[in-house]
Structure 1
Amino acid sequence: MRGLGYTLPAVVAAIAVVVLELRWLRTGLFRRPAYWISMVIVFGFQIPVDGWLTRLDAPIVLYDDNHITGLRFPWDIPVEDFVFGFALVTGALLAWERLGPAARHHPERDEADR
């Protein structure tokens, strides 16, 4: 089936990190303006780099059309790349929040856990 090879795992990963945050970790990451600003920065760099790598007129990275939806925006970037990028960056930030040094310095969360 078209789109299952890359699209399905990308969508599942994105849903998984959202569910992980909202149901289990509850770091409050999605409520922070800094998170959304960081996502704008990530996508701001992803667009020119990914656009150059995946452009259809001279691609460096090739995708099997049977494994993506075929939707490309902007500059020939498969939309799956943005979904996977969201999941990857959000997952890393959630891990940092829960396991990194910053996790030890949140008095409001420490108090809520008591």
Structure 2
Amino acid sequence: MPWGYTVPAVAAVLAVVAAELLVLRTGLFRRAAYWVTMVIVVAFQVPVDGWLTKLSAPVVRYAPGGITGWRFPWDIPVEDFLFGYALVTAVLLLWERGKSREDGA
């Protein structure tokens, strides 16, 4: 299936952002700590993901028709960053939501 990894990656980002803006409303995106957290995540993701996906000796391979083919830096498919963002953000949003429920209970 063309774009078999790209479409779900973009959909995951859109779903998480929509969940925050329309349903959860935790205010997470307005916090500097969130953005610092994302920088830290990317700082670790780049060397690890770069090693796993390097084209010279990949540990993880993607079907060529399943991704855009855009890789940055060090051969990392851009879709990996989208999924990473969505997953980390979803966890933080659910954490914040759970925390506010505990405080209100």
Query: Which TM-score bucket, shorter chain as reference?
Result: over 0.9
Q: CA RMSD in A?
A: 1.1
Mark the runs of 5 or more structure 1 residues left unpaired by the alignment: none
1:40 aligns with 2:39: yes
Partner of 1:79: 78
| Percent of matched pairs sharing the same residue | 65
**C-alpha distance in structure 2 between counterparts of 1:66 and 1:34, whole Å:** 37
TM superposition shift of 1:2: 3.1
Q: So what's the TM-score if we normalise by structure 1?
A: 0.87
How many positions carry a matched residue from both structures? 103
Q: So what's the TM-score if we normalise by structure 2?
A: 0.94
**C-alpha distance in structure 2 between counterparts of 1:93 and 1:65, whole Å:** 32
Mark the runs of 5 or more structure 2 residues left unpaired by the alignment: none
1:2-47: CA deviation from partner (whole Å, max 9, x where unpaired): 32x1000000000000000001100000000000000000000000
Structure label with greater radius of gyration: 1
**C-alpha distance in structure 2 between counterparts of 1:83 and 1:77, whole Å:** 11
Moved over 3 A (4+): none
1:47-98: CA deviation from partner (whole Å, max 9, x where unpaired): 0000000000000000101100000000000000000000000000001111
1:54 aligns with 2:50: no
SS in 1 for 2:69: coil
Mapping 1:7-22, distance limit 5 Å? 7-22=6-21
Mapping 1:88-107, distance limit 5 Å? 88-99=87-98, 102-103=99-100, 104-105=102-103
